[in-house]
Amino acid sequence: MLEHLGPELFNGLVLGAFYAIVAIGLSLIMNLTGTINMAHGSFMTLAGYLAFAMISRGTSFWFALLVAPLLTVIVGVVVERTLIRPLYKREPFYSLLLTFGLSLVAEEVFHLIWGANGVPLSPPANLSGTVQLGFMSFPAYRLFIAGALVVAIVALALFLTRTRFGLRLRAAVQDTEMIAALGTNTQVLYMVNFGLGIFLAGIAGVLAAGLLGLSPTSGNALLMPAFVTVIIGGMGSLFGSIAGGLLIGFAISLTTLFIPAASEVSMYVLMAIVLMIRPRGLFGEEGIFG
Amino acid sequence: MTPALRTALVIGGLLALAPLVLPIVHLDVSIVSEVLLFAIAAMSVNLLLGYTGLPAFGNAAFFGLGSYGAALSIKYAHVHFIEAVLVGTLAGLVGGLILGPFLLRRRGIYFGLLAIAFGQVFYFIAYRFTSVTGGEDGMNFARPYVGFPNVHFSLNEMSFYYVALAIYLGIVALFSVVAVSPFGRTLVAIRQNEVRVRYLGINTDRFIFVALLISSTIAGLGGAMFALLINFAYPLTLDWHQSGDFVLIMILGGAGTIWGPLVGATIFVIGKDIISTITPLWQIFLGALFIACVLGFPKGILGSIAAFRDRRALVGAASAPDAQTPLPRGTS
């Protein structure tokens, strides 16, 4: 059993990176606007299906990996401007309810267009082998995913901390009224912020489709662990989401190895323990959303 | 006789006579039982969300625990009807006792996030613990005898309906009392401004915990009755989609109102029944209903009617009804 430990831990790392990137997107949207985006999983699935549609029409995987998330962002921004925007002034649970309704509609639409059963989205041939790294061999696609997700997270961190726009975004999380009074158009912030979260979801959606399969509900399967990630890592903390995602990834991969039946429950046990010790999550800041 | 009591008598009377008109509109009596049980579940959400202002998006956990409590006790302990309902109700209460201390730690959307996430634990347990719960297939059973001493009969659909009606009206009575009690008033005050309530020296955590326990117990009772109605318990009753349905039913009817959940449940359950026979796309209608409800009439049907009446009464007065508070303040 122990010889499986290395590969299983690596699987946990990849899984954890997915949870982290989905959680970061959720957290971005939640922090600025108080919206719990229940349709986040649907946007992932949408990106996956768009990539599938493009690849089956002959485009390359790389093209689809970039363009499918961008198309998803367009859909996301339209949804945000038309449906979610009117709710910013109301209690946050209305936007939760609305995005929940959206996810129900989306699931059925995917079902209608692409069928109830999963469709195959295979990664490109040069990523289908394994890579030998001395002590053990890694499946190339998983290695690529881990790398791509790290790049995406680092790029986001640089954007948030090193650009004027990123600084405004972070300032708006602290005090939206003040940043508006200083002359920033907060509606643009809301829109770009939402698009950013959806872009991360889109990339994760395309990558996950090649690894975990693609079906009308496949994105939603990643949504619940991402919620748990946000809770464990702490709201409003990029680093928290990464740590939380990896923790859950390892917890799930280890329980899959030793007690398979408890693989989902393990993350809830982890969440309960973290909440008992630190109610605001590992890296959460006090005062954000009580 | 107060107007509220008169309304209750009229609605109770109409519900009692409902089975007589059902054959005319080609509806089964079991579907009206389902309406009542979903109304009960929505009332459990109402206490937390409508009155106290906590986004209770995990109440399916308690509802499903009630279902499984009843089903497991019938299957493994061969209990009678009444005991099965009691076990299910207790399972809901225990669920509240377990999750309460965690949920209490946060407010606002963070409470909603915790409720969604923690609510899902029981789904995975039921889904994965196949040897006991039957996993994805769920567990079916024969509806047990009622179990009064020396009386041995099983409820048919008609008598089941009247049992469900009695339970529903009992919970309505409980809510009517709670809504005007100091306890209920405190919950509404917590929704409006929890910090101020705390300044008055009130331990709001304790009030919210008690509200959560009442809510989970009622949801458990509804869930137990639901399992006994369909003679089946299945994991999706514990799922967050189910929680969303309960919230929708409550918002649709009117948050913070006594009869809102019944109105919402009637539209939801009967609408689902009718639309499902016409098209397999019920879920699109359901999603559209969520969106329309949130954007179009967030106060729900009864809330909108009450607001309309308030506006008529206010004609000539200086201020319009408070538009900042989306939840209706009254408890009609």
* CATH node for B3-313: 1.10.3470
- Confidence band (pLDDT; 50, 70, 90) for A287? very low
- Confidence band (pLDDT; 50, 70, 90) for B317? low
Tell whether B146 is within 8 A of chain A (Cβ). no
Tell whether A221 is within 8 A of chain B (Cβ). no
- How many CB atoms sit inside 10 A of residue B151's CB? 8
- Confidence band (pLDDT; 50, 70, 90) for A197? very high
**Is it the case that residue B214 has pLDDT exceeding 50?**
yes
Counting one residue from A and one from B, how many pairs have CB atoms under 8 Å apart?
Answer: 127
**What's the residue count for chain A?**
290
Structural domain contains residue A53: yes
* Residue A245 structural domain: 2-116+148-277
Q: Is A108 in contact with B283 (Cβ distance < 8 A)?
A: yes
* The Cα angle at residue A50 between residues A160 and A143, in degrees rounded to 5: 60
Tell whether B290 is within 8 A of chain A (Cβ). yes
- How many CB atoms sit inside 10 A of residue B270's CB? 16
Interval B277-297 mean pLDDT: 88
Number of domains in chain A: 1
Closest by Cβ to A97, choosing from B120, B241, B294: B294
pLDDT tens profile A168-195: 888 888 888 888 888 888 889 899 999 9
- Confidence band (pLDDT; 50, 70, 90) for B332? very low
State which residue of chain B sits closest to A90, comparing Cα positions: B326
State which residue of chain B sits closest to A234, comparing Cα positions: B110
Closest chain B C-alpha to A96 CA, distance in angstroms: 9
Closest chain B C-alpha to A92 CA, distance in angstroms: 7
pLDDT tens profile B23-80: 888 888 889 999 999 999 999 999 999 899 898 999 999 999 999 999 999 999 888 8
Domain segments of chain B as ranges = 3-313
- Confidence band (pLDDT; 50, 70, 90) for B210? very high
Q: Could you tell me the two tokens for B242?
A: 């189910």
Q: Are B261 and B39 in contact (CB under 8 A)?
A: yes
Closest chain B C-alpha to A215 CA, distance in angstroms: 16
Structural domain contains residue A181: yes
Letter for the amino acid at A193?
N
Report the CATH number at residue A197: 1.10.3470
Structural domain contains residue A217: yes
Read off φ and ψ for residue A214, nearest 5 degrees.
-135, 115
Structural domain contains residue A215: yes
What interface predicted TM-score (ipTM) does this complex get? 0.85
Interval A141-160 mean pLDDT: 89
Q: From CA B7, how far away is CA B262, in angstroms rounded?
A: 13
Structural domain contains residue A174: yes
Q: From CA B79, how far away is CA B85, in angstroms rounded?
A: 10
Cβ contacts of A98 on chain B, cutoff 8 Å: 290-291, 294-295
Q: Is B290 in contact with A90 (Cβ distance < 8 A)?
A: no
Q: Is B287 in contact with A235 (Cβ distance < 8 A)?
A: no
**Is it the case that residue A134 has pLDDT exceeding 80?**
no
Closest chain B C-alpha to A58 CA, distance in angstroms: 32
Instruction: List the beta strands (DSSP E) in chain B.
Output: 139-140, 232-233
Structural domain contains residue A79: yes
Q: Which of A79-83, A234-238, B57-61, B190-194 has the lowest mean pLDDT?
A: A234-238
Closest chain B C-alpha to A161 CA, distance in angstroms: 25
**Is it the case that residue B222 has pLDDT exceeding 90?**
yes
Cβ contacts of B241 on chain A, cutoff 8 Å: 104
Q: Could you tell me the two tokens for A173?
A: 């999380």
Q: Are A130 and A139 in contact (CB under 8 A)?
A: yes
Interval B238-266 mean pLDDT: 92
Q: Give CA B278 to chain center in angstroms.
A: 27
Choose from A94, A96, A104 for mutation: most chain B CBs within 10 A: A104
Closest by Cβ to B109, choosing from A34, A104, A228: A34
**Is it the case that residue B324 has pLDDT exceeding 60?**
no
pLDDT tens profile B93-120: 999 999 999 898 888 888 888 888 888 8
Closest by Cβ to B109, choosing from A36, A108, A271: A36
Cβ contacts of A96 on chain B, cutoff 8 Å: 55, 57, 109, 112
Q: Are B42 and B252 in contact (CB under 8 A)?
A: no
Q: Are A251 and A228 in contact (CB under 8 A)?
A: no
Structural domain contains residue A204: yes
Structural domain contains residue A130: no
- How many CB atoms sit inside 10 A of residue B26's CB? 7
Q: Is B117 in contact with A231 (Cβ distance < 8 A)?
A: yes
Interval A63-81 mean pLDDT: 95
**Is it the case that residue A289 has pLDDT exceeding 50?**
no
